[in-house]
Structure 1
Amino acid sequence: MSASPHYFGIRHHGPGSARSLLRAFEALQPDCVLVEGPPEAEGVLSAVLAEGMQPPVALLSYCPDAPRQAVYHPFAEFSPEWQALRWGLTAGVPARFIDLPLVHGLAMEKAEQDAAAQEVAEPTSDIEKPESGDAPEPGDPLTWLAHAAGYADGESWWNHMVEERGDGEQLFVAISEAMTTLRAETPERHRSEADARREALREAHMRQCIRAAQKEGFVRIAVVCGAWHLGGLQAEVTAKADAALLKGLPKLKVNTTWVPWTYRHLARASGYGAGIASPGWYEHLWRSHDSAQPRAVGWLARVARLMRERDLDCSSAHLIEATRLADTLAALRDRPAPGLDELHEATRTVLTMGDDTVLRFIDDALVVGDRFGSVPPDVPTVPLQRDLEQQQKSLRLKPEATQKTLDLDLRQPNDLARSHLLHRLNLLDIPWGTLARIGRSARGTFHEIWTLQWQPEFALRLIEASRWGQTLPKAATARVAERCAEVQSLAELARLVDAVLLADLDEAVAAATQALQDRAALTGDAQQLLAALPALANVFRYGNVRQTDATLVAQVLDGLILRAAISLPLAGSALDDAAADTLRDQLLAGHAAVGLRQSEAQTEAWQRALQQLAAQHGAHALLQGVATRLLLDAGRWDTPQAAQALSLQLSAGAEPAKAAAWLDGFLNRNAVVLLHDAAVWQLVDDWLASLSEEHFVRVLPLVRRTFSLFEAAERRDLSQRASQGAAVATAVMAETTWDEARAVLPLPLLRQLLGVSA
């Protein structure tokens, strides 16, 4: 007669369940441990006892041919399954996973996704079929037990009865009786037929694995599973029926490895289905159980340390009173020791004086926690991930779960290499670092400010990216080549050229530059051409600051400027106000790009295009005003020419709306032009003074609209200058005489500071 298995119904990631489980194992001394989990992972179970294995960690199982078909199985130090595996491996008894193999589970998931995609592409009826996520969420089975015991919800009831106690082996008898009865008496909890079938398949396979262990002659078989499955695993179902149910399931190839995990991803707030509310608190329960120090004292001491690090008042007297209050609240609620609720209330009352804002960082740092696990270096992984790990080690860039600011000085070889690494990862859609766009990180400086935060799912993205290459440079280069074929916008291609130069990928630069040149040769769209100029001009102007060969893009940039100059006059015609406003922004950005290029031929072509636009009949008045202003600033037009254009556009015969649009473009929506340019001030002043009363009344509302875009302080300064009279308004700065011999003296020092060669 075969031995009866011993069932241990647990809650995933429950410290009380784990503690009671170890006590039960010490009493039972099982000769075989069967754990709910993916059988494909048995090949990497030996790593559980490895020196470098530090939970939280997760088993990552994925399909090599379709890496997006993947699933994680996380474990914390206090997870019952983790402790069961460690016990079995340490004792030298077989430890196995018995859940439905992922070769079937992922294959069924892929089939369901393909079917759903087919239904979306080819709807078969007028009634849209809701996705499984749209169905009502089933109630927590523990809620009925919690209500019967007088608790508000199943979470608090389970914490009080199981996780915060851990009474021992007899706990599992009570759990089994309660959950089996609950499952038999409560209504069906599945959200869909697919969910019900999946659960039936899982339990059928687990029963088959239990039978197989019995046939092998094991006597003391320990089965560790989710408490809900106890009723299904102990049901009277024949082996033949289970075999028939499991027959003919689809298959996919699956690989499994270990990856680091974080408490934030173990939390329910992350979207993890079996997540818990307070991983950090559960870790404290697990580690403080055998400590001589009461868990309430230890917890409040950690809260006090956190507050003092932020210069918040927290004395020893505060801690004593908070401990007493927590103990009193636990006694009033008939609890053996304070739980998280009691400690929170004591903290709020005594330590933070009712200030909930302090509790927020306590919740973030302690209740959830920022722990980041690690795995041994010899676990199976793809070459691309191994290459990244080696670079992280050599560059001293440790992946961390918390946000970290990294200020890189690009004159330092190690910092420059770090920058290349982070830019390459971004090209592979692995945003470990986010580059700041303000402050010292602006283009043209020697600094890059990065915000780093490693996410566990980056491990899967590395697996996906491995199809492009086995090293980061090769993978990023291949990915860029693929994107060049996908991207349609010239502006996006120009930004891609910028990105690959920052990543120091010569082959990718050549591919992206060629794609940009080919695409530009086929388009005459001025807006696309203008949108591509700023990124390329930045690369050309500031490339040497980052020690990249920016001359690779000079030819492309020159060609784009010439094509944009040819297309600009025609593009400015027959536009409505919204389209003109959009083109204005692109025109200004393109003008700045031409200035960065500093090429006589390109500047000449661009200024000729501005002249044509400013004088062209039918061009939008806003763009004509902008073009006139840019020509005046560049010295291409002198003051009399600008005054003539202003008089023409703002004459009594001009339509008020067009006149106001031209003035808006000419002033460039910037009061600084009027405040600091005496010539412009005089031009506008002379025009206003020359208006007749009737024309002035017609133009006034439109001029007021233009001036309303200025800041209040700027309008105040304009008023003060106007009140000072014409003498100040017409004052012109005296021409400055430079001593060239003295002016060049600081140049060697400036070149040394800026790292610019002579």
Structure 2
Amino acid sequence: MSDHDDAVAPPATSAEAPVERRRAPATHFFGIRHHGPGCARSLVRAFDELRPDCVLIEGPPESDDLLALVLDDAMVPPVALLGYCPDEPRLAVYHPFATFSPEWQALRWAAAHGAPARFIDLPLAHELAFEKAAREARQAAAEAAQAAPPVEVEPAAAADVDEAIVPEADEPLEHRDPLTWLARAAGYDDGESWWNHMVEERADGTELFEAIATAMTSLRAELGDRHPTPEAAQREALREAYMRQCVRAAQKEGFERIAVVCGAWHLPALRASVTAKADAALLKGLPKVKVQSTWVPWTYRHLTRASGYGAGIASPGWYEHLWNTHERPGQRAVGWLARVARLMRERDLDCSSAHLIEATRLAETLAALRERPAPGLTELDEASRTVLTLGDDAALHFIRDALVVGDQLGAVPPSVPTVPLQRDLEGLQKRLRLKPEAAQKSLDLDLRGDNDLARSHLLHRLALLDVPWGSVAKVGRSARGTFHEIWTLQWQPEFALRLIEASLWGQTVEQAATARTQARCAEAGSLAELSALVDQALLADLDLAVATATKALEDRAALTGDAAQLLATLPPLANVFRYGNVRQTDAALVSHVLDGLALRAAIGLPVACGGLDDSAAEALRGVVLSAHAAIALRDGEAATHAWRRALGQVAGQVGAHDLLKGVATRLLLDAGEWTNDAAAQAMSLNLSAGAEPAHAAAWLEGFLNRNAVVLLHDATVWSLVDDWLSALSDEHFIRVLPLVRRTFSAFAASELHDLSHKARQKAGPAQAAAPGGTGDDVFGAWDTDRAALPLPLLRTLLGLPAAASNGDAA
């Protein structure tokens, strides 16, 4: 499609006009959909026919110097252009490309044929400046809202809001996607399916772009430009004005066949009758920031609309299949279903050759019935569900993840400009044989091996830099202090930006992680946070960071008397002793700190347990239990002795919360510090008839500690609990019942079953001694009068005759 863009050229005099028109370059506009394989296929054919000598593409102009790399053998889509502000790396934007993206094919065609290619969208220097101003405005508004006193707003004030600015939650689909107007006119439910059928999945042709231009012109004329805010409308006007200016500049340079590739919605605006003077006035005085650009790997998952990408698509994996089979459309269905069958067989699901033949026939029949030239994704999904999975939608989930979306991760050449930190990471990945992959995978590290230990150090260092490439399992072998760590790895494209942000801390991963950890020590707001930093720095093998964090922890602990904070520092430090020497870390670096903190925490524990309400006591219980496990893991003589002495004080302390007193008693009993007789005496005291029932129930909850073993195997404890419950009055029993039920609800199902069985066994002898009772009767003594009370109602409900007047209960 061509258009002699006389309208945007400067006006000529009447004498010069005929000559000017003859010499005017031919400007050809190609309206495309970002990441559309049908558009890309048609665009390549159109370029082969047109042979443009200049290619202008909607994209960031700051990246023009990087376009020559598109033909590099090491450049493997999907990839993205990352533009960011070096002074504030969080100000960044990605422009992704896949093999089937029309812009990518246009760039490759231009590079292969020696035609200059340029990006013509509004420069990122302005776009990021606008974004920075918007962020600062939102932050200022939030701070003002916090500082200002609350103001009651009259309900009528809502009517003052411009309804055109605020998007409606239930806005019709055609307002959010203008293509829906055309789709519904053609009998489709939504614009996505209509566009796929008419453009992306059909046979290509150069006449496609003329049809797209006609459709977009009609839509914009009918609907107008719809934007959620005035700021968004202004930004869109600036973008289109800048693109028109770039087209005029290429025309003035003397190119004869200019190809302009842009989003289809922009076509009417780029061909509109707008003067250069008006566009220049609109673009004058725009704010700017410094910008740098580079190529980064991308993933298909981040091309989807679900990832938050504004121009996202629903099925990048399917689009890739369309692109790869466009020269043999007859193999589209067979090839796709063969990939589905391979996935099913890998998961030991039945899928024979007969299944494939029937599914292919069904997909082609559905396409014929719907007057489509070849089966689309809808037909193939219906055929797979009907024939391959027998109607089971659950089996289609992994097909969607693996094929419809895909887990492909691109690659960029080593010559791509990047920061030294990223180069260091790439070298470590190569040396340690840790390849970044978009798919999630499990990695079992044996820390006795040098390579696996170095891998663990790298992953922990990246976590300190806020690059969570992997997460270590908290259960299984990783959690039991063995030589193993089980990691789940998944590389995300945004990690490239995080590495750029982290580069201010150092040029290597080790340097940056050390500096970042040291900075976080100064920012830490609690002892627990500092303790966690010590643990993380040790796991990452950062000696300087460990020394800094340890010193900060000691200094902060010396100034605090908060026992809860001191207790919270113990578990992370105790992790140092989990692996011993297998990590090749020096436990002595923190052992004296841990012992000192444990002693200080033990001294402050009795005071911390007094004067608490129920919620505070519940919170402190978890801290005490974690600290107890940490001290047991450390197994230092002085710290252990001081801790057990503190627990003894809490167990007998009058002002301590009963929940914590029960916990302390149970911990001392389990540790062998208290005998069964001592624990029984404490239980008898706290569950006596004179004890307040609510306090007794709280003590019992703490003593049982969500573990029924002591009830099951200690007859003394069982008898004390049984006697206490039996002696409660009806009023007191109703008061403590919710607390007791909450205590027993924490037991495992098997423990509850064993408790029920033991209760029935204990009830047997009493029942046998009762009149008419038997040893097998598990319901206790039979009260005939009470049992007869519901009988009249039951007779009425069941339609039985009334009983005799003598009250016969038979």
**Shared fold (TM-score greater than 0.5)?**
yes
**Structural mapping, 1:282-431, within 5 Å:** 282-291=319-328, 294-431=331-468
Query: Residues 153, 670 of structure 1: CA spacing in aligned structure 2 closer, same or farther, 3 A cutoff?
Result: closer
Deviations 1:494-535 (A, max 9, x none): 122111110000011111111211221121111111111111
Matched, 1:62 2:79: no
Which whole-Å CA distance do the structure 2 matches of 1:234 and 1:708 have between them? Answer: 72
Q: Secondary structure at the match of 2:66?
A: helix
Aligned to 1:570: 607
1:115-158 CA deviation, whole Å, 9 max, x = no partner? 22222222599679899996246432212222222222221221
Contact 1:99 1:205 in 2 (8 A): yes
The question of whether the paired residues in 1 share the 8 Å contact of 2:445 and 2:484 is answered with yes
The separation in 2 between residues aligned to 1:581 and 1:119, in whole angstroms, is 38
Q: Which region of structure 1 is more displaced relative to structure 2, 513-522 or 118-127?
A: 118-127
- For residue 636 of structure 1, the aligned residue among 673, 684, 687 is 673
* 1:597 counterpart letter in structure 2: R
**Does structure 2 conserve the Cα–Cα contact (< 8 Å) formed by 1:409 and 1:447?**
yes
Deviation string 1:65-118 (CA, Å, 9 cap, x unpaired) is 011110000001011111111011110111111111111111111112212222
* CA-to-aligned-CA distance 1:668-707 (integer Å, 9 cap, x gap): 332212334x5xx335536866x79856878767585455
Letter in 1 for 2:547: A
Q: What is the identity, as a one-letter code, of the residue corresponding to 1:115?
A: A
Going from structure 1 to structure 2, the CA distance change for 1:171 and 1:553 (only over 3 Å counts) comes to: same
Rounded to whole Å, the distance in 2 between the matches of 1:716 and 1:202 is 70
Corresponding position: 1:117 with 2:151: no
After superposition, the Cα gap between the structure-2 partners of 1:650 and 1:340, relative to the gap in structure 1 and judged at 3 Å, is: closer
Contact 1:660–1:699 (Cα < 8 Å) also in 2: no
2:249 aligned residue (204, 212, 222): 212
Question: What CA deviation, in whole Å up to 9, does each residue of 1:423-467 have, x standing for no partner?
Answer: 111111111101101111114101100111111111111111111
8 Å contact kept, 1:498–1:539:
yes
Alignment pair present for 1:170 and 2:207: yes
- Whole-Å Cα distance in 2 between the matches of residues 58 and 28 of structure 1? 28
C-alpha distance in 2 between matches for 1:593 and 1:638: 23
Aligned equivalents of 2:316, 2:760: Cα separation in 1: 68
Residue 616 of structure 2 corresponds to residue 584 of structure 1: no
**Residue pair 2:166, 2:228 contacting (<8 A) in 1 also:** no
Query: Size of the alignment, in residue pairs?
Result: 722
Residues 647, 24 of structure 1: alpha-carbon distance in 2 compared, 3 angstrom cutoff: closer
- Are 2:194 and 1:194 aligned? no
Structure 2, unaligned runs of 5 or more: 1-19, 764-810
Matches within 5 A, 1:724-735: none
Q: Contact 2:438/2:491 (CA < 8 Å) preserved in 1?
A: yes
Secondary structure at the aligned position of 1:221 is classed as: strand
Q: Find the counterpart in structure 2 of residue 456 from structure 1.
A: 493
Structure 1 stretch 290-299 or stretch 68-77: which is displaced more?
290-299
**In structure 1, which of residues 644, 661, 664 is the aligned counterpart of residue 701 of structure 2?**
664
Q: Which residue of the partner structure matches residue 92 of structure 1?
A: 114
Q: Does the 8 A contact of 1:183 with 1:231 survive in 2?
A: yes
Distance apart, 1:662 and its partner CA: 2.8
* Cα 1:708–1:23 shift into 2, 3 Å: closer
Residue equivalent to 2:716: 682
Q: Which amino acid counterpart does residue 719 of structure 2 have in structure 1?
A: D
Secondary structure, aligned partner of 1:451: strand
Partner of 2:68: 46
Pick the aligned partner of 1:16 from 38, 43, 49. 38
Distance in 2 between the 1:724 and 1:486 partners?
A: 60
Q: State the one-letter code of the partner of 1:20.
A: S
Distance 1:419 1:132, change over 3 A: farther
Change (3 A) 1:171 1:441: same
Partner of residue 529, structure 2: 492
Bigger CA drift: 85-94 or 592-601?
592-601
- Per the alignment, residue 729 of structure 1 pairs with none
> What residue in structure 2 maps to residue 439 of structure 1?
476
In the alignment, what sits opposite 1:753? none
What code does the residue aligned with 2:467 have? Answer: I
| Aligned counterparts of 1:496 and 1:444: Cα–Cα separation in 2 | 19
Return the offset for 1:569: 0.9
* Structure 1 residue 135 corresponds to structure 2 residue 170: no
Which whole-Å deviations, capped at 9, do the CAs of 1:189-242 have from their partners, x for residues lacking one?
A: 111111111111111111111111111111011111111111111111111111
User: Which is further off, 475-484 or 401-410?
Assistant: 475-484
TM-score by length of structure 1 reads: 0.90
Counterpart residue identity of residue 549, structure 1: D
- Contact 1:348–1:359 (CA under 8 A) maintained in structure 2: yes
Distance, in Å, in 2 between the alignment partners of 1:581 and 1:655 is: 19
Are the counterparts in 1 of residues 79 and 297 from structure 2 also a CA contact under 8 Å?
Answer: yes
- Give, in whole Å, the separation in 1 of the partners of 2:587 and 2:725: 56
Taking structure 1 as reference, are residues 693 and 391 closer, same or farther at Cα in structure 2, changes over 3 Å only?
A: closer
Name the aligned partner's letter for residue 682 of structure 1.
T
CA distance in structure 2 between the partners assigned to 1:120 and 1:662 by the alignment: 46
Contact 1:19 1:166 in 2 (8 A): no
* Identity across the alignment (%): 70
Aligned partner of residue 228 in structure 1, secondary structure: helix
Counterpart of 1:58, as a letter, is A
Alignment partner, residue 32 of structure 1: 54
Q: C-alpha distance in 2, partners of 1:437/1:724?
A: 40
Gap change, CA 1:285 and 1:683, over 3 Å in 2? closer
Q: Which residue of 1 aligns with 2:649?
A: 612
- Cα 1:578–1:90 change in 2 (3 A) is same
Quick check: 1:410–1:448 contact (8 Å CA) kept in 2?
A: yes
Structure 1 residue 344 displacement after superposition: 1.6
More displaced stretch, 192-201 vs 131-140: 131-140
The amino acid of 1:113's aligned partner reads R
In structure 2, do the counterparts of structure 1 residues 330 and 658 end up closer, same or farther at CA, with 3 Å as the change threshold?
A: closer
Q: CA RMSD in A?
A: 2.5
Tell me if 1:621 matches 2:655.
no
- Compare 139-148 and 556-565 and name the one that shifted more: 139-148
Cα deviation code 1:33-61 (max 9, x no counterpart): 11111110011111101110010100000
2:566–2:597 contact (8 Å) kept in structure 1: yes
Indicate if the aligned counterparts of 1:34 and 1:221 stay in contact, CA closer than 8 A.
Answer: yes
Aligned partner letter, 1:431? P
CA distance in 1 between partners of 2:322 and 2:728 (Å): 82
Q: Secondary structure at the match of 2:579?
A: helix
What SS does the aligned partner of 1:338 have? Answer: coil
Q: Distance in 2 between matches of 1:160 and 1:716?
A: 60
SS of equivalent residue, structure 1 residue 588: helix
Unaligned 5+ segments in structure 1 are 727-758
Measured in 2, the distance between the counterparts of 1:510 and 1:341 equals 60
Give the equivalent residue in structure 1 for 2:192: 155
2:751 aligned partner: 714
Which of residues 480, 496, 500 is equivalent to 2:517? 480
User: Does structure 1 residue 514 correspond to structure 2 residue 551?
Assistant: yes
Three-state SS of the structure 1 residue aligned to 2:444 is strand
Secondary structure of residue in 2 paired with 1:294: helix
The separation in 2 between residues aligned to 1:63 and 1:293, in whole angstroms, is 48
Distance 1:330 1:473, change over 3 A: same
